[in-house]
């Protein structure tokens, strides 16, 4: 998973053919639980490009996008949002896989 640290990183990431962007924070216990799951998912669903955004470091972007609960996921294809899995509940591997399959 590549970390987005600048606006240029963000703009490049969303131009991907299949970008999955995870919004998280280091203090978030649910996010910590999702991290090992994401490594498995990245291997199993390697047709996607995976990116990480630290919510605290990019709070303005998160507010603009309506990302208030973490971990949350946005999917982009060639600069257009094609899906989102945004809420404040802990996500299971099955739920994340269902999201990925829904945007295929």
Q: Please identify which residue in the block is written with the tokens 């053919």.
A: 17
How far apart are alpha carbons 53 and 19 in whole angstroms? 12
Residue 74 near residue 62 (C-beta atoms within 8 A): no
State whether residue 75 is helix, strand or coil: strand
**pTM for the structure as a whole:** 0.90
pLDDT of residue 88: 72
* Of 85, 82, 79, 87, nearest in space to 97 by CA: 85
How far apart are alpha carbons 98 and 9 in whole angstroms? 27
Looking at 3.40.30.10, 3.40.50.920, 3.40.50.620, 3.30.1150.10, the CATH number of the domain 2-103 comes to 3.40.30.10
How far apart are alpha carbons 30 and 64 in whole angstroms? 23
Q: pLDDT truncated to tens, each residue of the chain (104 aa)? A: 999 999 999 999 999 999 999 999 999 888 888 989 999 999 999 999 999 999 999 999 999 999 988 999 999 999 999 999 987 777 889 999 999 999 97
H/E stretch holding 81: strand 80-85
């Amino acid at each position: 998973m590549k970390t987005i640290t600048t606006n240029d990183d963000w703009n490049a990431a969303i131009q991907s053919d299949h970008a999955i962007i995870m919004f998280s924070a280091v203090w978030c216990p649910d996010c910590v639980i999702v991290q090992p799951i994401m490594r498995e998912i990245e291997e199993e669903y390697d047709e996607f490009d995976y990116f990480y955004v630290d919510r605290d470091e990019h709070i303005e972007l998160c507010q603009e996008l309506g990302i208030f609960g973490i971990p949350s996921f946005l999917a982009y294809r060639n600069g257009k949002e094609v899906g989102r899995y945004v809420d404040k509940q802990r996500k299971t591997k099955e739920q994340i896989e269902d999201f990925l399959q829904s945007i295929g």
